[in-house]
Amino acid sequence: MEQKFITLPNPNEPRFEKRIKGSKLLGIGFTFIMASLGFVISKIPGFDHIGPLACAILLSVVYRQLFDYPEKFRVGIQFSSKILLRFAIILYGLKLNLNVIFHQGIPLLLRGTATILFSIIVLMIIAKWLKADTSLSILLSVGTGVCGAAAIAAISPIIDSKEEDTAMGIGIIALVGTIFSIVYTLLFPFLSISPIDYGSWAGISLHEIAHVALAAAPAGEDALAMALLSKLTRVFLLIPLCFVIMFWKKKKGKIEDTPNIDFPWFLIGFIFMSFIGSYFFGHFIIVSTKFTSSISLATTFILTMAMTGLGLNINIKEVRTKAIRPLIAILITSFLLSILTYYSYILI
């Protein structure tokens, strides 16, 4: 009997390389379209409170469960969820004004440090008590303590978290942060706290920059400015926190004979862009408000594309089994954090 052999494509052939590049472009284009739809949905009343990142993740998760996506899109989707994610984190550094923090934010840095330590320790204790998923709980604890989705995106490659865990963490923190920011705005008229202290409280305790802005806006421009400054001090602390976690992971790897992690070079880019935005823009390089707004929008859109890629890799069955206990842990931690930080402004 004559034997038949299957001939596999040669990776070195030009046609094979063109096919891979074409598939990558198709996948990237698909995440671009989904991210654009996420932006459109985020303009609809109600959805505007959760922002384009969460909208894009929800849309991509629903699409994946209902329709799935062609296999040839996978290469481009993976590119968006990994490479574009790191690029967005680097650009995110432009939003961090180091000069303002160093000159005006030292007391806020101390409060921010306390917030981060409290969030990580308490949430992980609760997660252990609830027997919640460890990787997802770590992501949520860092996101709660620092700056929501951006912190989760920065930490996930360091702790080698699964893409579905990263996407779930961002979705959960967007939901919880939205709920708490709305509650803050409803409580503001009844609180015995000055608008400035209220803004600082919102900035030191809420999750995302968007959530801080939403909660602080009703208290006036001065309160909003203080809220954003408080929030930026926590964003600044993302840098040393990442290196602490990296050191812990390396030490843990040596003890348990697990592979060492690669150095997260994108954090160097984050620091470099923070330095450029703080000391070059407006001093040595004159940039317009329109330019900085465009860079900020581009950063958000690229990050939204990355979130779309993450969302397309979510298995909804795993969400049901893994997300409920970490969700309970972050709700309890966020409630305790809000109460304790509020009374710190009342008593101190």
pLDDT in tens, 217-261: 788 877 877 887 888 788 888 888 888 888 887 776 644 444 444
The angle subtended at Cα 266 by Cα 262 and Cα 271, nearest 5°, is 125
3-state SS assignment for residue 316: helix
pLDDT in tens, 88-105: 878 877 777 777 667 766
Sign of the dihedral defined by the CA atoms of residues 165, 78, 300, 235, in that order: positive
3-class DSSP state for residue 281?
strand
Residue 76 and residue 308: Cα distance in Å, rounded?
Answer: 11
The confidence score (pLDDT) of residue 19 equals 56
Q: Residues 138, 141, 211, CA angle at the centre, nearest 5°?
A: 135
pLDDT score of 1: 46
pLDDT of 309: 82
Residue percentage of the chain with pLDDT more than 70:
83
Angle at 31 between CA 261 and CA 42, to 5 degrees: 105
Contact yes or no for 212/203 (Cβ under 8 A) = yes
User: Rounded to 10 degrees, what is the CA torsion of 210, 211, 214, 220?
Assistant: -90
What mean pLDDT value characterizes the chain?
A: 80
